[in-house]
Amino acid sequence: MRQGRITIEDVASAAGVSRQTVSRVINDSPRVSPAAKARVEQAIAALGYVPSLAARSMGGGRSRLVLAVFEGPPPGARPALPLDRLLLAGTAACRARGYRLMFEQLASGQPAAEGKAQLAATLGAVQPDGMILLPPLGSRADLRALAEARGIAADSLDGPQGAAGNPGEAAAQHLIALGHRQVGFIAGATDPQVSQQNLAGYRRALARSGSRAHRHFAAANAPDLPALLDLAQSWLVPTIRPTAIIAERAQTALAVLHVARTLGLAVPRELSLLALEDDPALMRSQPPVTALHEPTAPLFAAACERLMAARDADGEPADEDAQDGSARAVLALPLMLELVERASLARAPRRA
């Protein structure tokens, strides 16, 4: 045995198997016989071998890399996604399967062709085994087509079939169950298509309940904070006003809360507030604001799992030491909405 850093060749020699077999054991492939797997694991333990990314990718010409693509915020703006939580959840999921996670940022507002060209260059350079398009990029058919043309599986937080429920509809139903009929909705999601879907769901729920509030208290995102404050005041000053408001953005909910406090309206006794995104600021407000949202970090980890499971089960050639040709089942984790209950919801006022 040569001195210095232990390599995959050293392990293969000690175990009496091929380099590819060692790589498959490292990657927990089912296409290795129990006896060969035991010899490789014993050699790894005896030699103190630490697998490199190159060694992990050897069993089938794979990079064992998942690429997450997100749209950066405009200059000076706060990121719309909790990137720190995504990083922790995604890294943990990938590490458990012997993968690595990489993020690629596309500039906000850049022409679609430029973003596509940037992503094409990155895909060519790193050759990931899978790609996840983070909101709002999940609706970019051109980016999905780019990955497909290169044989790279693409996924999003909505899953392969958009299995998540409609947050706008679910929020409205929850408030209706609390007795509210005058329910307002203020849009503002990063992706306009998401806002349209949420608004449509909100309107469906109110129409089913017999309320007509969606004809009077539904608004697009205000262009700036003063406009948002003016909108909230125009709704809350009149005698006929919403008893509950759904805000797509956390900052919108906080602005409405500020206006309600200025007008002397008690939250939640006179006005209930529900945000469709969660943010630490909602926990610190007085009262803390309830959020109904898609738990982004678990959904991101689930998307990583889907890609890795599919890639691990996809057409792996038979190993010379294999006895079991079974493939792993592809994970299809159900997506969900999470209600983070705080103190901004109450039953509708009796005279509403």
Domain ranges of the chain: 8-57, 65-162+297-312, 167-293
Query: Which position has the token pair 């490292």?
Result: 26
Mean pLDDT of 328-344: 62
pLDDT at 316 over 60: no
Q: Which residues contact 2 (CB under 8 A, 6 or more apart)?
A: 10
Same fold, 8-57 and 167-293: no
Residue 4: pLDDT above 70? Answer: no
8-57 CATH pick, 3.40.50.970, 1.10.260.40, 3.40.50.11720, 3.30.200.20:
1.10.260.40
CATH superfamily entry for domain 167-293? Response regulator (3.40.50.2300)
Lowest mean pLDDT among 16-20, 191-195, 215-219, 312-316: 312-316
Sheet with 338-340: list strands edge to edge: 218-219, 183-186, 244-247, 272-275, 290-293, 338-340
| Tokens read off for 69 | 């693509």
- How far is C-alpha 105 from the geometric centre of its chain's CA atoms? 15
Burial class of residue 4 (count of CB atoms within 10 Å of its CB; 0-12, 13-18, 19+): exposed
Is pLDDT of 61 > 90? no
pLDDT at 351 over 60: yes
Question: Where is mean pLDDT largest: 135-144, 270-279, 303-312, 326-335?
Answer: 270-279
Q: Which of 135, 137, 133 is nearest to 112 (CA)?
A: 137
What value, to the nearest 5°, has the Cα angle with vertex 161 and ends 274 and 194?
35
pTM of the model: 0.65
Contact assessment for residue 143 and residue 174, using Cβ atoms and an 8 Å cutoff: no
With CA atoms as reference, report the closest residue to 165 among 126, 197, 131, 210.
197
Contact (CB, 8 A) for 307 and 130: yes
- The CATH class given to the 65-162+297-312 domain equals alpha beta
β-bridge mates for residue 290, sequence order: 274
pLDDT in tens, 205-229: 999 999 999 999 999 888 889 999 9
Residue 29 clears pLDDT 60, i.e. is over it: yes
Q: Tell me the pLDDT of the chain averaged across its residues.
A: 86
Q: In what order do the strands lie in the sheet with 153-156?
A: 100-106, 65-71, 130-133, 153-156
| pLDDT at res. 80 | 74
- Sequence-ordered list of residues with C-beta below 8 angstroms from that of 56, at least 6 positions apart, any chain: 23, 26, 27, 64, 98, 99
Residues 20-33 have a mean pLDDT of 82
Would the pLDDT of 311 be above 90? no
The pLDDT, as a whole number, for residue 323 is: 38
Judge whether 59 and 43 are in contact, CB under 8 Å: no
User: Is 319 strand, coil or helix?
Assistant: coil
